[in-house]
Amino acid sequence: MIVEIISVGTEILLGNIVNTNAAYLAEKCAALGLSCYYQDVVGDNEERLLGVIKMALSRADILLLSGGLGPTQDDLTKEAAAKALGRNLYLHEPSKEMIASFFQKRGLEITENNWKQAMMPEGCIVVDNPNGTAPGVIIEDNGKHVVLMPGPPNEMIPMFENAIMPYLNELQPGIIYSQTVKICGVGESKAESMVEDLINAQDNPTIATYAKTGEVHLRVTARAEDEKEAKKLVKPVVKELKGRFGNNIYTTQEDVTLEKAVVDLLLANHLTVSTVESCTGGMLAARLINVSGVSEVFKTGYITYSNKSKHKILGIKKALLEKKGAVSPEVAKEMAKGAALFAKADVAIGITGIAGPEGGSEEKPVGLVYIACSVRGRVDVKEYHFSGNRMKVRESSVSAALSLMRESILAYYSEVTFGEKK
Amino acid sequence: MIVEIISVGTEILLGNIVNTNAAYLAEKCAALGLSCYYQDVVGDNEERLLGVIKMALSRADILLLSGGLGPTQDDLTKEAAAKALGRNLYLHEPSKEMIASFFQKRGLEITENNWKQAMMPEGCIVVDNPNGTAPGVIIEDNGKHVVLMPGPPNEMIPMFENAIMPYLNELQPGIIYSQTVKICGVGESKAESMVEDLINAQDNPTIATYAKTGEVHLRVTARAEDEKEAKKLVKPVVKELKGRFGNNIYTTQEDVTLEKAVVDLLLANHLTVSTVESCTGGMLAARLINVSGVSEVFKTGYITYSNKSKHKILGIKKALLEKKGAVSPEVAKEMAKGAALFAKADVAIGITGIAGPEGGSEEKPVGLVYIACSVRGRVDVKEYHFSGNRMKVRESSVSAALSLMRESILAYYSEVTFGEKK
């Protein structure tokens, strides 16, 4: 089936906000096996909105609209959709009650225009919105499905996941099931070439690659009569990918990020961690600390941007800093060792590099970064050459550091085990 | 004049990337005084692309397309635009030479398909692309202006700023000039209510408000015959805004971020700075260190996520931590004082709070954050209540900390000056 994604709102046309709703819906629709040929953005103008809806009805089976369900005169999506399908609006009593109770619970006074949100197109399905006062709407008409959702992502996303996604899945024969294999420490083009034969050979399940900074995600998607059958199709492909990428796969779970995988690995091995950062200036620590529950493992983090600070806080010898330079494998190593010592942490990671735009030289160009990871005294140091602007170099450094942490911890345990066996 | 923004690329339709190009172009077009009624996204499919271009030609004067100018068979934007306007493509020799030299400089081998990028629609204006191999294209036809730009933002944005924006400005009678007044420490709705009368009273210049996390930007835009005249219109409005918002205005320069304004203030006063972060876990330091040249002022940063670390690294008394709790104004104050002492910094800032989703209580709910700023021993502490998820609370905390730093430094100097005058 063909879907068209329509975002409604003058604030998008003015560039006040980035249209993340469309990207979110597009990714979900692709995962559902729906084809999307067009996305549209249109302002809060009934005539133009009506034109876009009519055009979309002529070329798609499913219309996903977000935005324009609010209480103001500017919010016209329901009105335009009803007009496009020749339906009237009526006062939907349960929605009226829901809106009244929403305001009451929050001790807010309800204004007259809020009742506009309880007006619904005849014969529609009203969709609950637990996070706001604008219910969603599904209108079925002549084999077409028009879905209206609120614009704020914190209302639209839960509504889509809880109600709209299952509805869309039902429209298609069988079901869609997908699993994502998340990989770090392998470049995008290398990862793609490693699965090219699989991508070309398969059409159910399909394999799609998604590149993130320092990561590659492979999504394996199958269509089958039921979930059991779909899982049976996905399983051998995921197994094959595990064989090919081995330890570079950090998770096959949708909701596990790279930083969460690292924190989980630390927790599982009862390891504490400390970070010491120069060019990334706290970004690595900030990403680790985005994992709720990190307090079990995170000790102290240091940001030693200046040479003086590297010397004073971590005890790195001035002579070494002068001889090798702050951006050197030797200093990265001493940073990690110093952090391990002073924070009394099992695992410590040091990052030093040239993020630019200034500070580069022929010998040490912008983008050169050294990262060291110490695991109970066993230290790995790696050299990286990243491209892009200051922020991009720093983001790439953080992803590489997380990847190196995983690698070093796994290497430490494989050596320990190997030693014990001897 | 009416503009339509068309983004070309299957990767947008699949949700692999967020369409930031459209938001960027929309904001710039609004600043140029162009009206935008529609944005479209279409995949790398010649027929559908042709349809979108024809539709846009029927309802807009200017078409801004990005994407689909690459060397592969999938890149069809030039072909579709030429067809829509009934033009042939020819080999543009200067572009061919430029592409050859681009590859040669980088020591890369050129492949046959790269010459496709030198094929140009008859009678077009070819636009230089110093950051890639796909030149831009402007086709003028019957009063319409069709602009083709490469998709990667690091190629599209410089091309737009250097060549396309001046071109678009020329198309309109007179010129557009705008200045942005950037405000921190004032909430969005308060800022809006403070300028509502101005917004309603003016139409040249206009005032538009843009809310960012912890900031509000007011853009004052005038249209006039020449730049001198436009600046004359903008000046009194900016002056009026300065009178209303006073010290809460951190800059009126387009390219100055809040963190840069803070770093500039530190530099101007020869102040060094240290950060100590709990819930934000390095995000404040990371933002400061995103300012190139921060090495003059940034000493050491600490991330003391655990109580143990707060005690050990900063010497905060265990009794205080137990009695008041880690999230308390007292501990925030001790954090700032400790960082100032141990890092020997003039300015030190401490952040402690509950970012959630766990860790909240009736007395200390998720979103409660204390921030302290010490300027040469003079300490301010503030209490904040932020909403949103873990990341949102942390981002709001960082913006609030930058805002408080400015405020505390300015307060310190106004008190010192006042003291001297006595």
Q: Which residue of chain A is at minimal alpha-carbon distance from B34?
A: A14
pLDDT at B25 over 60: yes
Q: Is B391 on the interface with A (CB under 8 A)?
A: yes
Final residue before a domain boundary, out of A210, A236, A251? A251
What is the pLDDT confidence band of residue A410, given thresholds at 50, 70 and 90? very high
Final residue before a domain boundary, out of A171, A189, A206? A171
Looking up residue A318, the CATH number of its domain turns out to be 3.90.950.20
Query: To which H or E segment does residue A279 belong?
Result: none
Q: Are residues A273 and A223 in the same domain?
A: no
Q: Are residues B182 and B152 in the same domain?
A: no
What is the pLDDT confidence band of residue A422, given thresholds at 50, 70 and 90? very low
Q: Is A160 on the interface with B (CB under 8 A)?
A: no
Contacting residues of B for A288, CB less than 8 Å apart: 281
Percent of chain A with pLDDT over 70: 99
Instruction: Judge: A277–B279 Cβ closer than 8 Å, yes or no.
Output: no
Q: What is the end-to-end Cα distance of chain A in Å, rounded?
A: 60
Instruction: Judge: B286–A282 Cβ closer than 8 Å, yes or no.
Output: yes
Q: Are residues B165 and B18 in the same domain?
A: yes
pLDDT at A37 over 70: yes
Q: Are A364 and A398 in contact (CB under 8 A)?
A: no
Task: Provide the number of CB pairs (under 8 Å) joining chain A to chain B.
Answer: 214
Long-range contacts of A193-201 (CB under 8 A, 24+ apart): A194/A244, A194/A245, A195/A241, A195/A244, A198/A237, A198/A240, A198/A241
Q: Are residues A325 and A400 in the same domain?
A: yes
Contacting residues of B for A45, CB less than 8 Å apart: 37
Q: Are residues A153 and A9 in the same domain?
A: yes
Q: Are residues B237 and B264 in the same domain?
A: no
Among A121-130, A201-210, B10-19, B272-281, where is mean pLDDT lowest?
A: A201-210
Q: What is the pLDDT of residue B104?
A: 84
Question: A238-259 burial, b for 16+ CB within 10 Å, e for fewer?
Answer: beebeebbeebbbbeeeebbbb
Query: To which H or E segment does residue A1 belong?
Result: none
Specify the 3-state DSSP secondary structure of A69: coil
Contacting residues of A for B294, CB less than 8 Å apart: 305
Q: Is A37 on the interface with B (CB under 8 A)?
A: yes
B167, burial (CB in 10 Å: exposed 0-12, middle 13-18, buried 19+) = middle
Where does residue A415 fall: left (phi above 0), alpha (psi -120 to 50 degrees), or beta otherwise? alpha
- Chain B interface disruption, residue of A213, A219, A266, A303, most B CBs within 10 A: A303
Of A15, A26, A39, the CB nearest to B24: A15
Instruction: Judge: A28–B39 Cβ closer than 8 Å, yes or no.
Output: no
Where does residue A96 fall: left (phi above 0), alpha (psi -120 to 50 degrees), or beta otherwise? alpha
How many distinct structural domains can be found in chain A? 3
Of A27, A285, A312, the CB nearest to B303: A285
One-letter-per-residue 3-state SS of chain B: CEEEEEEECHHHHCCCCCCHHHHHHHHHHHHCCCEEEEEEEECCCHHHHHHHHHHHHHHCCEEEEECCCCCCCCCCHHHHHHHHCCCCEEECHHHHHHHHHHHHHCCCCCCHHHHHHHEEECCCEEECCCCCCCCEEEEEECCEEEEEECCCHHHHHHHHHHHHHHHHHHHCCCEEEEEEEEEECCCHHHHHHHHHHHHHHCCCCEEEEEEECCEEEEEEEEEECCHHHHHHHHHHHHHHHHHHHHHHEEECCCCCCHHHHHHHHHHHCCCCEEEEECCCCCHHHHHHHCCCCHHHCEEEEEEECCHHHHHHHHCCCHHHHHHHCCCCHHHHHHHHHHHHHHCCCCEEEEEEECCCCCCCCCCCCCCEEEEEEEECCEEEEEEEECCCCHHHHHHHHHHHHHHHHHHHHHHHHHHHHHHHHC
Q: Is B256 on the interface with A (CB under 8 A)?
A: no
Q: Are residues A102 and A19 in the same domain?
A: yes
Averaged pLDDT score across all residues of chain B = 92
Query: Chain centroid to CA A276: how far?
Result: 26
pLDDT tens digits along A202-256: 888 988 877 788 899 998 988 888 889 999 999 999 999 999 999 999 999 988 9
What is the pLDDT confidence band of residue A181, given thresholds at 50, 70 and 90? very high
Specify the 3-state DSSP secondary structure of A386: coil
| Residue A108 tokens, joined | 């807010």
Evaluated on CA atoms A290, A292, A298, A301, the torsion sign reads positive
Q: Is A352 on the interface with B (CB under 8 A)?
A: no
In angstroms, what separates the C-alpha of A398 from chain B's closest C-alpha?
11
Q: What is the pLDDT of residue B418?
A: 61
| Cα–Cα distance for residue pair A95/A38, rounded to 1 Å | 32
Final residue before a domain boundary, out of A152, A171, A190? A171
Q: Are residues B166 and B180 in the same domain?
A: no
Of B39, B292, B358, the CB nearest to A390: B292
Instruction: Judge: A290–B358 Cβ closer than 8 Å, yes or no.
Output: no
| Residue B322 tokens, joined | 């137990």
| Cα–Cα distance for residue pair B212/B43, rounded to 1 Å | 31
Instruction: Judge: B39–A285 Cβ closer than 8 Å, yes or no.
Output: no
Q: Is A169 on the interface with B (CB under 8 A)?
A: no
Question: How many other β-carbons are positioned within 10 Å of the β-carbon of residue A330?
Answer: 18
Closest CA to A144 of A39, A22, A27, A56: A56
Q: Are residues A150 and A182 in the same domain?
A: no
Angle at CA B124, nearest 5°, toward B122 and B127? Answer: 135
Q: Is A284 on the interface with B (CB under 8 A)?
A: yes
In sequence order, the β-bridge partners of residue A223 are A176
Q: Are residues B114 and B93 in the same domain?
A: yes
Q: Which residue of chain A is at minimal alpha-carbon distance from B357?
A: A292
Please give the average per-residue pLDDT across B215-233, as a whole number. 91
Q: Is A263 on the interface with B (CB under 8 A)?
A: no
Please give the average per-residue pLDDT across B88-108, as a whole number. 89
Closest CA to A278 of A371, A199, A208: A371
Instruction: Judge: A23–B38 Cβ closer than 8 Å, yes or no.
Output: no
- Chain B interface disruption, residue of A5, A10, A39, most B CBs within 10 A: A39
pLDDT at A416 over 80: no
What is the pLDDT confidence band of residue A31, given thresholds at 50, 70 and 90? confident
Where does residue B367 fall: left (phi above 0), alpha (psi -120 to 50 degrees), or beta otherwise? left
Q: Are residues A310 and A323 in the same domain?
A: yes
Instruction: Judge: B18–A18 Cβ closer than 8 Å, yes or no.
Output: yes
Q: What is the pLDDT of residue B409?
A: 97
Averaged pLDDT score across all residues of chain A = 92
pLDDT at B10 over 60: yes
Among A108-112, A120-124, B86-90, B328-332, where is mean pLDDT lowest?
A: A108-112
Looking up residue A212, the CATH number of its domain turns out to be 3.30.70.2860
pLDDT tens digits along A100-122: 988 888 777 888 888 999 999 99
Best mean pLDDT range from B68-72, B197-201, B284-288, B418-422: B284-288
Closest CA to B185 of B139, B111, B246, B242: B246
What is the pLDDT confidence band of residue A419, given thresholds at 50, 70 and 90? low
Instruction: Judge: B37–A48 Cβ closer than 8 Å, yes or no.
Output: yes
Looking up residue A9, the CATH number of its domain turns out to be 3.40.980.10
Evaluated on CA atoms A297, A303, A307, A313, the torsion sign reads negative
| Cα–Cα distance for residue pair A330/B43, rounded to 1 Å | 49
Of B38, B43, B279, the CB nearest to A37: B43
pLDDT tens digits along A137-170: 999 999 999 999 999 888 999 999 999 999 999 8
Of B26, B286, B298, the CB nearest to A286: B286
Q: Are B324 and B333 in contact (CB under 8 A)?
A: no
Q: Are B54 and B106 in contact (CB under 8 A)?
A: no
| Cα–Cα distance for residue pair A251/A257, rounded to 1 Å | 8
Q: Is A298 on the interface with B (CB under 8 A)?
A: yes
A229, burial (CB in 10 Å: exposed 0-12, middle 13-18, buried 19+) = middle
Q: Are residues B144 and B288 in the same domain?
A: no
pLDDT tens digits along A293-351: 898 999 899 999 988 899 988 899 999 999 999 999 999 999 999 999 999 999 999 99
The boundaries of the domain holding residue B139 are: 2-171
Contacting residues of B for A357, CB less than 8 Å apart: 292
Q: What is the pLDDT of residue A421?
A: 41
Sequence-separated (6 or more) residues with CB below 8 Å from residue B422: none
pLDDT tens digits along B148-194: 999 988 899 999 999 999 999 989 888 788 899 999 998 877 888 89
pTM: predicted TM-score of the whole model, two decimal places: 0.81
Q: Are B382 and B371 in contact (CB under 8 A)?
A: yes
